[in-house]
Amino acid sequence: MEHSTITIKVKLDSEKIPQQIEWNATGSTIEHTQQAKGFMLSFWDGAEKTAMRIDLWTKDMMVDEMADFFYQTLITMADTYNRATRQQALTDEMKEFAKQFYQKFRDLQLKENK
């Protein structure tokens, strides 16, 4: 049986706030360690029927980057849900929500920058 290992390293500052995030995966086409400003990792516990999560981001991740990150994550979650369930109508709803979320964020940014 083949295995793959995903390694995530988080460098913390003196107040234990993430300062740097690096990750790599064995068997990946990318040979060197990747930098990231944030990540969301979820596991499904089938026995407890609960999601376990780790959400971290560095202190230099900007608010607009966080909005982009959430928008793109919501879209890819919808795609994943569709591949798993073939529920196109629900997938479309999730994507529409993501688009509305991102538009509301952009509208707020414009209002704040006036």
Q: Residues 60-87: pLDDT tens digits?
A: 999 999 999 999 999 999 999 999 999 9
Q: How far is CA 24 from CA 4, 15, 30, 35, in A?
A: 10, 25, 8, 9
Residue ranges per structural domain of the chain: 1-60, 62-114
> 78: how many CB neighbours lie within 10 A of its CB?
20
The pTM score is 0.87
C-alpha 92/C-alpha 82 separation (Å) is 9
Tell me the mean pLDDT in the region 49-56.
97
